[in-house]
Structure 1
């Protein structure tokens, strides 16, 4: 369960995907890897996904949870508008409505009428602009971006992680937690980034995709504090490694503030291989 900040390629195995490129975990262990990452996913998306796959009867030995930057994007609104379940973003508001109805009811006329009512009731609701959340890359920062200095997502992030950890433990799944590695290159500016002047391997995404740079780094750091705290609280039930602290920050490991190079991915692979080798037997 993680953000799609890692390079990955389909490896042809059923329901499996390598999540950091080559060498893959398939070179070390015969594993079934279910990759549920996707672009823009927050910890709330992973919480919903874990609930769903377990309800569908899937079972796992372990679940790797890796989040940090996308939740920071949710902070770019006022405290009054911010919602703990991120329903100040229209997608999450709509999904919460659909989630409360069974698959059978979703194809019925009553549901269709309720959906219309839901849309009408929220016609004037103030959402975080779609253009920003899914990639506002042009123009000057809007006034709402300044609100990102208030890390309102911290409690939501903790609630989502706690729910996933508790759910995993209840289903005899080992939660693997890691802090979120990021690199805010020295003398960062959007212009310098776009001209390839910074200490990044490849200019993939400007930091402004997620918010004002200082606010983004502050958000990730606060989220990492939450992860470390939960790792300590659940120390008898989870596996934890501090990837953010151990990964060297340079163009060797980062393409931008959060997307890893192959070398960065391979370092993450090494950590996971070590954990799997120590914790799980392979016959």
Structure 2
């Protein structure tokens, strides 16, 4: 009798669990989570440009020279088409060599995004990884020090990513993840947690951006990226960040600023990262961190900050490149690759 009761109870709870699981999975489908593999939401809702390459077989020991591009909008496909430019230059110089480019740089992405994306490509091996980003980090500084978090979880984008990655069991059951999400929501409400945007700066917090709180986080993220590249055997080029802040000009973030640049069809006001002086200070701080890391880790280093002339015709705004600027940028990378004999 007891055995029958135990079996009945077990079957009942198993059915209840399965029904609950199915209903909860159906509910999260409406939030963009795949039904069978909810963990893939990281590709569907966050790092969408990983989707085309994450299942590809990419090896560094074949006849194709595979290059991965990491960074923010400056080197992304829509803004500069860096991969297309490099492909044209390299094929012209090395017509007998095959090249494949994988550009997963994204607008607004920080060192943390780039490290996480690179880490997610755990099955792929590249002949060369190129990293270029130091400005998007600045948005994270525009918050009181007491509300800043080193893992950037004071930005909802990262808070949600961290929660998703903290639940590797999500493909088996979504219940612990949803419980965690509910607890986090209640905790945020009770503690009045302050979140800032990943895409813009709240004017009421812009003054806090003078305190470059991101230096330690930037260093950790890049150190993790360097270590991952070493473990995988991927060659890594890190580049200092080039900018153009017009001399003797006080930028405002208004349209009038554009007369000091190349006059591109698309440009970003400096204020989307913070107050101009704070943005400049943040980039300089991050460049110093990067220089120290490459020196201590003997990483390939291209000083793009020095290589790109402080010329208004090369920049659409303080960081994005005009057509001549993008051409110069790509040629600097190609010449560096030749100097370092990376293509032999």
Name the TM-score, length of structure 2 as normaliser: 0.71
**Greater Rg, structure 1 or structure 2?**
2
Tell me what 1:4 maps to: 73
1:120 aligns with 2:186: yes
- The residue that corresponds to 1:207 in the other structure is 270
**Stretches of 4+ aligned residues off by more than 4 angstroms:** 19-29
Structure with bigger RCO (C-alpha 8 Å, 6+ apart): 1
Q: Per the alignment, do residues 80 and 153 of structure 1 end up closer, same or farther by CA in structure 2, a change over 3 Å counting?
A: same
Q: Following TM superposition, by how much is the alpha carbon of 1:270 offset from its aligned partner in structure 2, in angstroms? A: 1.4
Deviation at 1:109, TM superposition (A): 2.9
**What residue number does 2:37 align with?**
none
Q: Structure 2 CA distance, aligned partners of 1:271 and 1:223? A: 21
Is 1:46 matched with 2:114? yes
Pick closer, same or farther for the CA change 1:272–1:214 going to 2, 3 Å. same
Contact residue 141 and residue 212 of structure 2 kept, 8 A? yes
1:98 to 153, 164, 171: 164
CA distance 1:7–1:121, shift in 2 (3 Å): closer
Distance in 2 (alpha carbons) for counterparts of 1:17 and 1:245: 19
SS in 1 for 2:237: strand
- Kept in 1, the 8 Å contact 2:153–2:159? The answer is yes
**Cα offset, 1:107, TM superposition:** 5.3
TM-score for both structures, normalised by structure 1: 0.85
The one of 115, 128, 139 equivalent to 1:62 is 128
Paired position in structure 2 for 1:13: none
Indicate whether 1:151 and 2:212 are aligned.
yes
Tell whether the 8 Å contact from 1:47 to 1:164 is kept in structure 2 after alignment.
yes
Name structure 2 gaps, 5 residues minimum. 1-69
Cα 1:198–1:253 shift into 2, 3 Å:
same
1:60/1:227 CA distance change after superposition, 3 Å: same
Match of 2:260 among 198, 214, 220: 198
Larger fraction in helix: 2
CA contact (8 A) 1:252 1:261 kept: yes
1:232 equivalent to 2:295? Answer yes
Secondary structure of 2:233's counterpart equals coil
Distance in 1 between residues matched to 2:253 and 2:218, nearest whole Å: 31
Moved more, 193-202 or 269-278: 193-202
With over 3 angstroms needed to count, the CA separation of the structure-2 counterparts of 1:88 and 1:20, relative to structure 1, is: farther
Deviation at 1:266, TM superposition (A): 1.6
Count matched residues.
Answer: 267
**Long gaps (5+) in structure 1:** 11-15
Say yes or no: does 1:188 pair with 2:256: no
Task: Check the 8 A contact 1:76/1:147 in 2, yes or no.
Answer: yes
Secondary structure of 2:217's match?
helix
The change in CA–CA distance for 1:106 and 1:41 in structure 2 (over 3 A counts) is: farther
Cα offset, 1:191, TM superposition: 6.4
